[in-house]
Every structure is written in structure tokens, then in C-alpha cells.
Amino acid sequence: MENLNILKDEILSDNWYILRKITYEYTNASGAQAIQSREAYDRGNGATILLYNRDDKTVILNRQFRMPTFVNGNPDGYLVETCAGLLDQDNPEDCIRRETEEETGYKIAHVQKVFEAYMSPGSVTELLYFFVAEYSKNMKISEGGGVEEENEHIEVMEIPFSMALEMVKNGEIRDGKTIMLLQYAQLNQLL
């Protein structure tokens, strides 16, 4: 979009993260001037990872309650998903190593960044960094489950990769980042 000019940037809420209303003027494709207002939810950037075990053909996933899914028709509000977290002040690799240890209990040695994506660019500013990493039983240093101070109650699941793919097909896995990483693993024959 050429000739974009922000006219007004107001904070509507900074209760949990920041919700802003931005009014801007721009020149559209036909050359006409237009003014629009849009809301943008800024929660920071994040990282997610698929842990996989090539020998056992298994993956580590988490199951946790997600209020927004509950209010949008998910009967119990629980989602099966890949480990993920906000970067806070970390770089993506440090973040995903920390989150992996806190959530899954695995201390991983090597992570591979595979891509990055805006997950809901119409309203959310977050850029998500996607990683994969091999794990083995000897990397498990705790039970995981998340950080108590953050009220995380995460169930760690080790399941066959084939079962995870079937869970996508039958609707048991409906989390976008998880589906993307499982498809990445399948397309790149990680398991």
C-alpha cells in the first residue's frame, strides 16, 4: 500500500496485552484517497515447536484449556497443540528451548527453525516462529506441565505420529500451528 499515513493510534485496552485502534489514510489501487480504521491486538511475537522421535515415530504434544475456543463452540475448551510461548525478551531459539523445558519437561539440544508466519494477520500482530527438534527419552528432566506462577496446567502427550495425523483428520487437533508443523513433518519425512 503506497502513501500510507497513520492519522490516529489509540489504545483501547492494555489489560492483558494491547488492543489498539489505528485510523489511517492511504491511496488505493485506483489512485483515490481513503480513510479506514482497524483494531490490532498486540500480544508480542511467539515460537512453537514440534518434538519428534524418529526411532519411535512419536511426537510430543500438549493438551490445555483455551478460553477463546470454549466461547467459540469448543465444548470443553481443551486443545491438543504443539509447545509454544511468547518471546518476551528472548530471541526465538532461546524462547522455544525455555518453553519446551517448562511445558514438556524435555531439555532439547538442537532446534531447527523451519519457517515463520503471521497466524491471524487481519487482527493480531503476532509473528510466530516455527521449529522442529528431535527428542529422546534421556532428554526428559522433569514432568513438564508448565509454570505454576502462570497458572499453566498442561497435560504432556507422547503419541504416535500416525495417530497425530489421524487426529487432524477427525478434528481432535484443530490448532493451526500444530496442523502446520505436523504437515511439515509429513511433507519432509521427519518420521
Q: Are residues 86 and 123 in the same domain?
A: yes
Q: Are residues 160 and 77 in the same domain?
A: yes
Classify residue 87 by burial, with Cβ atoms within 10 Å: 0-12, 13-18, 19+: buried
Q: Are residues 78 and 66 in the same domain?
A: yes
Provide the residue-wise pLDDT of the chain in tens; the chain has 191 residues: 567 889 999 999 998 889 999 999 988 878 888 899 999 999 899 999 999 999 999 999 999 999 888 998 999 999 999 999 999 888 999 999 999 999 999 999 899 999 999 999 989 999 999 999 999 999 999 878 776 666 678 899 999 999 999 999 999 999 999 999 999 999 999 98
pLDDT in the model for residue 151: 64
Q: Are residues 19 and 104 in the same domain?
A: no
Q: Are residues 13 and 68 in the same domain?
A: no
Contacts of 85 (CB under 8 A, 6+ apart): 46, 47, 95, 96, 98, 99, 102, 103
Q: Are residues 87 and 169 in the same domain?
A: yes
Q: Are residues 104 and 178 in the same domain?
A: yes
Please tell me the pTM assigned to this model: 0.89
The boundaries of the domain holding residue 125 are 46-187
Q: Are residues 83 and 127 in the same domain?
A: yes
Q: Are residues 97 and 25 in the same domain?
A: no
**What total of structural domains would you count in the chain?**
2
Q: Are residues 100 and 153 in the same domain?
A: yes
Q: Are residues 61 and 141 in the same domain?
A: yes
Q: Are residues 94 and 170 in the same domain?
A: yes
pLDDT in the model for residue 190: 94
Q: Which cell numbers in the block locate residue 35? A: 480513510
* CATH code of the domain covering residue 116: 3.90.79.10
